[in-house]
Chains A and B, each alone.
Chain A
Amino acid sequence: MDTPLKRTPLYDAHVKAGARMVPFGGWEMPVQYAGIVEEHRTVRSAVGLFDVSHMGEFEIAGPDALAVLQYLTTNDVAALQDGQVQYSVLCYPNGTIVDDLTVYRLGPDRFMLTVNAGNIDKDWAWVNQSTERGTKARWRNVSEETGLIAVQGPKAETLVGRVADRDVTKLGYYRFVRGTVRGVSTLVSRTGYTGEDGFELYVPAADTARLWAALLDLGRADGAAPIGLGARDTLRLEMKYALYGNDIDETTNALEAGLGWVVKPAKGDFIGRDALEKVRAEGVRRKLVGLEMVDKAVARHGYAVHKAGRPVGVVTSGSYGPSVDRYIAMAYVETALAAIGTALDVEVRGQAKAARVVRTPFYPSRVKKAG
């Protein structure tokens, strides 16, 4: 039997705005409003609002919270100060990926984890199961009570700056501050998934619709518009940001996915450490690379990658990149064929279409640098 799709606090607002709603990770979400390409350009040139309330948030508090997170995640949580955010990964013992996430240090022994919508139940079971009994740390799943609005684009700072009671212009990348935005108690995080400057606003679920409406209204002068999951996907693809379920999953390890920069064995033991240390010592067998199509064709998730007729990898994400005006893709390919400039073929409907490995991000990142 099908499980009924879940809805975010903004469901009614999306329907009223004429969004096309689709199932995504167990949720009924807007895939587009005005059109994917137009929405993509709005984010690159002005500012877009994304409903990402479907994402999950877990809090952990207690004297052992840091130790628990050090064991669960690959990045070094001890490096975080209050008000800082860290990208990280939950790994299985074999080094493959349970989920990718962000870790917020709310206080010395209090943290918040933001996880992918489709993985909330799996992750919740995982973090609880992997936390030893009797440990002095308590988990709380606050996903349902938390709304999340991403405000992304070159005008995001202007818009959020106008409505927040804190000076967000001073907030560095991967930093957050608590305050109120249009009277709504908000955790303002300078993070995102588009490659543009911007914010993610964590708010009480009950206030999300009010804040969404206010931001759209006040942002009109800045060209603000609601953005669906379709453009969210093309924006992140141009940055080569991994999407769980497409580019990373329980069959891909964190190192071949190019996430070695958040794998910190020097911090001590964590789940997956031994396996990843072994992979690092032996070298990865394949790498997640950026491909640009040379022949006219769209590479899609699951398409085979060939070299001189021999299968050498698989496409994990691919589409038209509106800002680069090219057909681009992400693919795992044998390490020997991962060098920039390598000529490869993508099998599209039985035909070999020429592609080449290119430098990424495909489009230059304009995120604000750490401050």
Chain B
Amino acid sequence: MPNVPTDLKYTREHEWAKQDGARVRVGITAYAQEQLGDVVFVELPKVGARVTAKKPFGVVESVKAVSDLFAPVSGEVVEVNADLPNKPETVNQDPYGRGWMIVIAPSNVGEWDTLLTAAQYEEFLAQGGH
């Protein structure tokens, strides 16, 4: 079973969300990067962009496939991982660490509670993950 850190929350589209003070850091899970295979391209929004929960905020491409990235919570993008466009393989190597994608300043704190807990996400994966 892929690694599912207990201090994160998750979406059914396989993003993770981490509370970072009042902000939320976002990436894709170990399961997601395994399913994608070699990540060769990452497209992220600019700092200042607005993102909406459950809506695409960017794109990740593996050799074979194009996948949307979904925002776990709504808000303003306050940080973007500038290393990823030049080193997309970081997403495979360290999905929960250096492979982070954006940091959001949430506009609706209530959305946090709608995300899956680690236990719920593990259960979701056990059922097939889709």
Which residues of A approach B to under 8 Å, CB–CB?
A: 20, 31-32, 35-38, 230, 233-234, 296-298, 300, 319-320, 327, 349
Query: A35 with B40: in contact, given A230-B63, A298-B61, A319-B63 (CB under 8 Å)?
Result: no
Choose among A31, A32, A297 the residue that contacts B41 (Cβ–Cβ < 8 A). A297
Q: Is the CB of A300 within 8 A of B85?
A: no
A20 to B36, CA, bound (A): 11
14 A-B residue pairs with CB within 8 Å:
A20-B37, A35-B37, A36-B38, A36-B62, A37-B38, A37-B40, A230-B63, A234-B63, A296-B85, A297-B41, A297-B43, A298-B41, A319-B40, A327-B40
Q: Is the CB of A296 within 8 A of B59?
A: no
Q: Is the CB of A230 within 8 A of B37?
A: yes
Choose among B37, B59, B85 the residue that contacts A36 (Cβ–Cβ < 8 A). B37
Q: Is the CB of B38 within 8 A of A35?
A: yes
Please give, as numbers and ranges, the residues of chain B lying within 8 Å of A297 by CB-CB distance: 41, 43
Query: A-B pairs with the 9 shortest C-beta distances?
Result: A320-B40, A37-B38, A36-B63, A298-B41, A298-B61, A36-B38, A35-B38, A319-B63, A36-B37
Please give, as numbers and ranges, the residues of chain B lying within 8 Å of A300 by CB-CB distance: 66
Q: Is the CB of A320 within 8 A of B41?
A: yes
Q: Is the CB of B64 within 8 A of A36?
A: yes
Please give, as numbers and ranges, the residues of chain B lying within 8 Å of A349 by CB-CB distance: 59
The count of A-to-B residue pairs whose CB atoms sit within 8 angstroms is 39
Q: Is the CB of B64 within 8 A of A298?
A: no
A294 to B43, CA, bound (A): 15
A300 to B63, CA, bound (A): 10
Interface residues of B in 78-94 (CB under 8 A from A): 85, 89
Q: Is the CB of B63 within 8 A of A37?
A: yes
Please give, as numbers and ranges, the residues of chain B lying within 8 Å of A36 by CB-CB distance: 37-38, 62-64
B71 to chain A, nearest CB (A): 17
B2 to chain A, nearest CB (A): 14
A126 to B38, CA, bound (A): 39
A37 to B40, CA, bound (A): 9
Please give, as numbers and ranges, the residues of chain B lying within 8 Å of A31 by CB-CB distance: 64
A173 to B62, CA, bound (A): 33
The residue on A at minimum CB distance from B41 is A298
A31 to B37, CA, bound (A): 10
The residue on B at minimum CB distance from A20 is B37
The residue on A at minimum CB distance from B68 is A349
Please give, as numbers and ranges, the residues of chain A lying within 8 Å of B38 by CB-CB distance: 35-38
B127 to chain A, nearest CB (A): 20
